[in-house]
Chains A and B, each alone.
Chain A
Amino acid sequence: DGGITQSPKYLFRKEGQNVTLSCEQNLNHDAMYWYRQDPGQGLRLIYYSQIVNDFQKGDIAEGYSVSREKKESFPLTVTSAQKNPTAFYLCASSFKEGPQHFGDGTRLSIL
Chain B
Amino acid sequence: GENVEQHPSTLSVQEGDSAVIKCTYSDSASNYFPWYKQELGKRPQLIIDIRSNVGEKKDQRIAVTLNKTAKHFSLHITETQPEDSAVYFCAVLTYSGGYNKLIFGAGTRLAVHP
Contacts and interface: CB of A to CB of B under 8 A. Distances in A.
Interface stretch (B63-71, B72-80, B95-103): B95-103
Contact of B101 (A58, A90, A101): A58
B43 A42 contact: no
Interface residues of A, number: 20
Interface of A: 31, 33, 41-43, 45, 48, 50, 56, 58, 90, 96-97, 99-105
Given A42-B107, A99-B46, A100-B34, 18 more contacts: A31-B100, A41-B106, A41-B107, A42-B105, A43-B44, A43-B89, A45-B101, A48-B101, A90-B44, A96-B100, A97-B93, A99-B34, A99-B49, A101-B46, A102-B43, A103-B43, A104-B43, A105-B42
9 contacts: A42-B89, A42-B105, A48-B101, A97-B32, A100-B46, A100-B91, A100-B102, A103-B43, A104-B42
